[in-house]
Amino acid sequence: MNDSVLEAHALTKTYGSTRALAGVDVTIRRGESVAIMGASGSGKTTLLHVLAGIITPDAGSVTFRPSAGAPVEVTALGESARSRLRRERFGFVFQQGLLIPELTAVENVALASMINGVRRADAVQHAASWLAALGLAGMEDRRIGELSGGQAQRVAIARAQATGAELVFADEPTGALDSHTSGEVMDALLWSTTGQGRTLLVVTHDPEVAARCSRVVAVRDGRIVSSAVAA
Q: Give me the residue spans of the domains in the chain.
A: 4-229
Phi and psi torsions of 4, nearest 5°: -80, 145
HSE, CB side, 13 Å, CA atoms: give it for residue 171: 19
pTM for this structure?
0.90
Please count the other Cβ atoms lying within 10 Å of the Cβ belonging to residue 30: 17
What residue type is 129 in one-letter code? Answer: S
Q: Contact 148/67 with Cβ under 8 angstroms?
A: no
- Digits of tens for pLDDT over the chain (231 positions)? 469 999 999 999 999 989 999 999 999 999 999 999 998 889 999 999 999 999 999 999 999 999 888 999 999 999 999 999 998 899 998 866 578 999 999 999 999 889 888 999 999 999 999 999 888 999 999 999 999 888 988 898 888 888 888 999 999 888 878 888 888 889 989 999 999 999 999 999 889 999 999 999 999 999 999 888 865
Q: Widest CA span of the chain, in angstroms?
A: 51
Query: Domain 4-229 in CATH: superfamily?
Result: P-loop containing nucleotide triphosphate hydrolases (3.40.50.300)
Amino acid at 180: H
Query: Residue 33 is inside which H or E element, if any?
Result: strand 33-37
